[in-house]
Amino acid sequence: MKSKVYTMTGDDGTTSLAGGARVAKDNERVEAYGTIDELNSFIGLLAHNSKLDHDDLPKIIYRIQNKLFNIGAYLATENGERVTGLYIADVDELEQKIDEMDTELPPLRGFVLPGGSRLSALCDICRTITRRAERRVIALNRDAEIDPLLLRYLNRLSDFFFVLSRYNNISTQTEEILWDRNL
C-alpha cells in the first residue's frame, strides 16, 4: 500500500525529528536542516547545466548533494555525534578542486558582483545559501554540540561555489563585474 504524502500531523506548526521528538517548525534544528535541503535543491538546478559537463564537476556536484543528504539526516537527529558519510577527505576534495580552478583565474581586483552568466549566478545563489546554512548550524551549535567537520565542510563548500562562479565566467570569457561604490 502506498503511503500518503500528507499526514496532517504538522498542521499545528510542529514536525517530527528523526528520533520521533516533536518540535516547532521554526526550531533551530529544523531551520538548519531545512536550509541544507534548500541548498541541495538549488544545487540540483545547478547540476543540470550543460556547461558543467566537462571535467569532474558533475561527479563532484553529485557527491556534494549526497553529502548534504547525510548532513540533513544528521541535523534532523538529536544527539548525533558524527555526520555519517562525511570525512576529512571530502573537505580535501573541495580544497583540491578550488585550488585547481583557482590556478586558471586572475587575481581578485575587488569584490565581484554576483552573476555574469546564468551558471555563475546559480553558483552565487548556492554560495549564499551555503553561508546561510552555515549560520543556522552555528546557531544550533550554541544549544547542541555539532560535529566540527560539518562546519568545516560548509565553510569550504561556500568557497567552492565562489571559485566555481569565477571559473565559469573566466572560462567562458564572461566579464567579471566588480563592485563600484560610486554607482
pLDDT tens-digit readout, 83-126: 999 999 999 999 999 999 999 999 988 999 999 999 999 999 99
Q: Is 44 helix (H, G, I), strand (E, B) or coil?
A: helix
Distance CA(178)–CA(110), nearest Å, equals 6
Distance CA(100)–CA(171), nearest Å, equals 13
| pLDDT value of position 43 | 96
The cell numbers describing 96, all together, are 583540491
Q: Which amino acid is at 38?
A: E
| pLDDT value of position 158 | 98
19-28, 100-109, 123-132, 155-164: least confident range: 19-28
Phi, psi of 23 (to 5 degrees): -140, 160
| pLDDT value of position 120 | 94
Number of neighbours of residue 173 by Cβ within 10 angstroms: 6
Region 142-149 average pLDDT: 94
Between 100 and 12, the more confident residue is 100
Contact 63, 71 (CB under 8 A): no
Q: First-to-last CA distance in the chain?
A: 61
pTM for the model stands at: 0.91
